[in-house]
Amino acid sequence: MAVITVNKDNFENEVIKSEKKVLADFNAAWCGPCRMLGPIIDELANENDSVKFVSINIDENPELAAQYGVASIPCLVLFDGGNEVKRSVGLIPKDEIESLIG
């Protein structure tokens, strides 16, 4: 599945009410490490059907970043049943993301 772009309007439906676990990638266009991480997230999204992958731009959605206390990007937050269960800050390799969602 492709990565879904999430904003404050669809966050509730796509993340909080999601049946599947959700990996939220908080990022920004000007953030180099985020741009490095993007293609890895795309790859994982295509390989995994059991987890939903969403992208949240922190410039366009500062309230979501503030709500989840995101103060460094890239920041990956794993949601299960609408609750944050795991978090990783900074650029990490694919296998570490796999163990984060695994």
Partner 1 sequence: MYDILIVGAGPAGLTAAIYARRASKSVLVLEALTYGGQIVNTLEIENYPAEPHISGFDFATKLYNQAKELGAEVRFERVTEIRKESSDADASHFGVITAKSEYEAKTVIIATGSANRKLGISGEEALIGRGISYCATCDGAFYRGKTVAVVGGGNTALEDALYLSDVAGKVYLIHRRDEFRGEEIAAAGLKEKANVEFILNSVVTELKEDGGKLVSVTVADAKSIAAGEPTGLREIPVDGLFVAVGRIPSNQSFAGLIETDEAGYIKAGENCKTNVSGIFVAGDNRTKEVRQLVTAASDGAIAATAAINFLNR
Site residues for partner 1 per CB under 8 A:
28, 30-33, 35-37, 40, 58-59, 65, 69-73, 75, 87, 89-95
Laid out side by side, the sheet with 4-5 consists of 4-5, 51-57, 21-27, 75-80, 83-89
Handedness of CA 71, 54, 95, 59 (dihedral sign): negative
Find out whether 13 and 61 touch, Cβ atoms under 8 Å.
no
Please give the positions annotated as active site.
Answer: 31, 34
Q: How far is the CB of 19 from partner 1 (least distance, A)?
A: 28
Is the Cβ of residue 20 or residue 42 nearer to partner 1 in the bound state? 42
Q: Which is nearer to partner 1, 1 or 29 (CB)?
A: 29
